[in-house]
Amino acid sequence: GGGGGGGGGGGGAAQSVDDNVPLVHHFVAERLAASFPNLTANQVQASVDGLVELHGDAVAFREHVRDFIIFIREETAEENEELYAYEREQAAREAAAAEYQRKRLVPGLLKPSATMDDVDADDDRDDDDDDDDDD
């Protein structure tokens, strides 16, 4: 009798798992949407649908997850470019400041009235001026 009750309990557990699929589907979709706000609702839905549909096929499931990760990396790469743009601009400003300091220490490389902003413009003019002086 106890074995039959256990079997019935197992059937009930299987039924409750089936009932939980929409809940898990919704939960995973919410988590993905919150974690990756750049994804559209359709992209999130397609990703979660694939996870649910492919749960029985380990190879296909793994490929689906891999494709999702690659897609996310491609999408965020564009956003990361903006983050690195600031760092590149900062490095360029620091290089210009170092160049200005180097020129400031060597007499005659800068005009007495030259400022940090003039360094780039002076570099271009100095090349032209040197050509004129040699003639």
pTM equals 0.44
Structure tokens at 17: 């798992």
In tens, the pLDDT along 29-82 reads 999 899 888 888 898 999 999 888 888 899 999 999 998 888 888 777 666 677
H-only helix segments in the chain: 2-35, 41-53, 58-105, 118-134
Q: Are 107 and 96 in contact (CB under 8 A)?
A: no
In tens, the pLDDT along 13-31 reads 555 666 788 888 899 999 9
Enclosing H/E stretch for 56: none
DSSP 90-108: HHHHHHHHHHHHHHHHSTT
Amino acid 59 reads V
